[in-house]
């Protein structure tokens, strides 16, 4: 395949950015999108130009590092991560726009790389449990109802890629935060910090400058792991419950 790429180039966080146009040839339909960008970068390096900076790590859809807006969609035209998107999703002669995540809470570091450390700080605010040290407890010592275990697994699938934020017209991180709150709050092991977790993580989310949620649902549509929209409603319920309890005890 021969493709025209229009790629966002930005030297650093303070510089102005702009789209640059490149032609790439000999692209196999079996290449991943990142392998296609590798091909572009090899050519840029051979020409003595600065290669395009983009994030990636596992290239297996696990780590959430890859993060590109492709033709206006977070992770591109298929519901998967950018590293799992293959060039068979495009046609010979296509023009493809490649941009970084667009959200004020995710400032551009260089080209297609954005700073997503705001997510780390939300996790640090409450995405943990008070685990006693020592030997592992007997597996059946703490029974977990099957629906709760299924819900915890569903929310734990979030890989923190940030597609929900990039897809949201408000730049909201509600789907990410709700996945991280709910996957611990539904389990008995998460009960000791149940209230402080949701209050602190939502507080940190607001402090990071993410937008408010107006339930447009773009986040759940873009999520490569299928975190469902009702996850946000479940977190709101947890937040209301925790707020009421905190008021009662005068916190
Ligand atoms: S590089 Fe790890 S999910 Fe894409």
Find, among 99, 81, 80, 12, the residue nearest to 50 by Cα: 12
Which of 142, 143, 205, 208 lies closest to 175, judged by CA? 205
Half-sphere exposure of 5 (CA within 13 A, CB side): 25
CA–CA dist 97, 93 (Å, integer): 13
Q: What pLDDT digit, counting tens, does each position of 80-126 carry?
A: 999 999 999 999 999 999 999 999 999 999 999 999 999 999 999 99
Our answer on whether the CB atom of 83 is closer than 6 Å to any ligand 1 atom is yes
Residue 232: CB partners within 8 Å, gap ≥ 6? 174, 175, 178, 213, 215
Ligand 1 within 6 A of 163 CB? Answer: no
Q: Do residues 85 and 68 lie in contact, with contact meaning Cβ atoms separated by under 8 Å?
A: no
Q: What is the pTM of this model?
A: 0.93
156 lines ligand 1 (CB under 6 A): no
For residue 251, report the distance from its CA to the centre of ligand 1, in Å.
41
Tell me the CA–centroid distance for residue 156 and ligand 1, in Å: 16
For the beta sheet containing 18-24, the strands, ordered from the edge strand earlier in sequence to the opposite edge, are 18-24, 3-9, 95-99, 69-70, 73-74
Residue 59 CA: which ligand 1 atom is closest? 1
Tell which atom from ligand 1 comes closest to the C-alpha of 63: 2
Is the beta carbon of 35 within 6 A of some atom in ligand 1? Answer: no
pLDDT average, residue stretch 187-202 = 94
Look at residue 251 and tell me whether its pLDDT is greater than 70.
no
Predicted confidence at residue 216, as pLDDT, reads: 95
78-92 residue pLDDT tens: 999 999 999 999 999
Query: Residue 142 C-alpha to ligand 1 middle, in angstroms?
Result: 34
């Amino acid at each position: 395949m021969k493709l025209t790429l229009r790629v966002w180039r930005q030297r650093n966080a303070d510089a102005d950015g702009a789209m640059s146009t490149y032609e790439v040839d000999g692209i196999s339909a079996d290449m991943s999108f990142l392998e296609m960008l590798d091909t572009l970068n090899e050519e840029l390096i051979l020409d003595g130009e600065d290669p395009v900076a983009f994030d990636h790590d596992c290239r297996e859809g696990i780590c959430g590092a890859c993060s590109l807006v492709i033709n206006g969609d977070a992770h591109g035209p298929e519901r998967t991560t950018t590293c799992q998107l293959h060039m068979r999703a495009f046609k010979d002669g296509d023009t493809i726009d490649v941009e970084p995540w667009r959200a004020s809470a995710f400032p551009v570091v260089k080209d297609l790389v954005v700073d997503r450390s705001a997510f780390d700080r939300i996790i640090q605010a409450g995405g943990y449990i008070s685990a006693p040290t020592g030997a592992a407890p007997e597996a059946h010592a703490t029974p977990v109802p099957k629906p709760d275990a299924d819900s915890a697994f569903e929310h734990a699938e979030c890989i923190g890629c940030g597609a929900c934020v990039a897809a949201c017209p408000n730049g909201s991180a509600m789907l990410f935060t709700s996945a991280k709150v709910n996957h611990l709050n539904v389990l008995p092991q998460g009960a000791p910090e149940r209230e402080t977790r949701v209050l602190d993580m939502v507080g940190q989310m607001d402090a990071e400058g993410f937008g408010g949620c107006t339930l447009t649902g773009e986040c759940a549509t873009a999520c490569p792991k299928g975190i469902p929209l009702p996850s946000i409603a479940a977190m709101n319920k947890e937040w209301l419950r925790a707020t009421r309890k905190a008021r009662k005890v005068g916190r």
